[in-house]
Amino acid sequence: MNTIDTEYRLESSSEDEYVILKELLDAGESFVSGSLLSELLGVSRPAIWGKLEKLKSKGFDFEAVRNRGYRLIEVPDVLHPALLRYHQAKLGSTIGALYFPVIDSTNNEAERQYSHRRKGPFAVVSSCQTQGRGRLGRNWHSASAENLYLSVLFEPNIPPQQLQHFTLWAGIHICRKLQSFVPGADLRIKWPNDLFCEGRKFAGMLTEARMDADRINTIIFGIGINLNSNPMQYPEEIRRTATSLHAVHGKALDLNAVAAAVLYSVEKAYNNCIKGETKEALSQAWGPLSALDGKTVTAIMGDREITGTASGIDESGALLLQLPDGSTQAVRAGDVTLKK
């Protein structure tokens, strides 16, 4: 099923492409014989060569040696459905992903796919959004083709309270998983839905739900991650406050591996919330990752503005502020900024 807006193109990969790439990736530096690939796909050796040539046109490159077979020597530095599926399989992620090279908003496309009867869970993945949005209706700069934007739609059909901590847990699991890609970097979460590194934002999360009076029908979790972009090329108004994992790490990250890791983390957070299998206390899991603890922040809640020192979250997920008079204020919803 394609998007109803023909401006955006769904890009897929054939099963044959996936089988070939899986064998070559699993082999690493070793060669895979053409005979084995022919047997796996049930086609002739010349047909295998033709499929490899097609993959070459998509940015892959291979070494071919007579009597030894083929070896993968280069993969494209862009999202690719077969590569994403490969990395998902390695992690045990089961969410089917729809890949769009360019999309208006992955959250929007998830809504469109659902309205056209695609059943959840499924993901929409892209490296470029034309109308990205963040929390409170803010725009999210996402015109670069070097970043990662994805949304996952679930159909929980359960009371809302079972998923009240879903976004917080998703942030925790994603932050932990991303840490393995940038060892040594100090990744943190700014309550309730931003990921920071070295005091600068590199990712934002947006969760949107459709519900009846007592049940959540659908929930869409969206995240945008500044992955391989150059912060010096960001719009001037965010250049001093935003960064990318590439800028922090010093080298490019594998888009497909990171996308698979994020999907795995979101799926894990969702399943833990649904099944009640989380063995950690939310406040304890959050503590080491908080970007705000011990800092003076201002929380805007409707027409109220409160300034205090952040001191973690409680088990309801509310941000705790120590006020100048010694009292504690729990912030359950609102916009929080660091006091300069």
Look up the CATH number of the domain holding residue 330. 2.30.30.100
Number of domains in the chain: 3
Answer whether residue 135 shows pLDDT above 70. no
Confirm whether 6 is domain-assigned.
no
Residues 160 and 254 in one domain: yes
Q: Are 162 and 219 in contact (CB under 8 A)?
A: no
Answer whether residue 176 shows pLDDT above 70. yes
Residues 219 and 311 in one domain: no
Answer whether residue 234 shows pLDDT above 90. no
Containing structural domain, residue 318 = 292-338
Residue that is last in its domain, among 74, 105, 124: 74
State the CB neighbour count (10 A cutoff) for residue 237: 9
Per-residue pLDDT band at 145 (split at 50, 70, 90): low
Residues 170 and 307 in one domain: no
Residues 99 and 201 in one domain: yes
Quote the tokens at residue 212.
């009846």
The enclosing H or E element of 35 equals helix 34-41
pTM score, whole prediction: 0.92
Residue that is last in its domain, among 27, 50, 74: 74
For residues 195-199, give the mean pLDDT.
Answer: 93
Burial class, 136, CB count within 10 angstroms (exposed 0-12 / middle 13-18 / buried 19+): exposed
Per-residue pLDDT band at 2 (split at 50, 70, 90): very low
pLDDT per residue as tens digits for the range 29-73: 999 999 999 999 999 999 999 999 999 999 999 999 999 999 999
Confirm whether 9 is domain-assigned.
no
Residues 159 and 297 in one domain: no
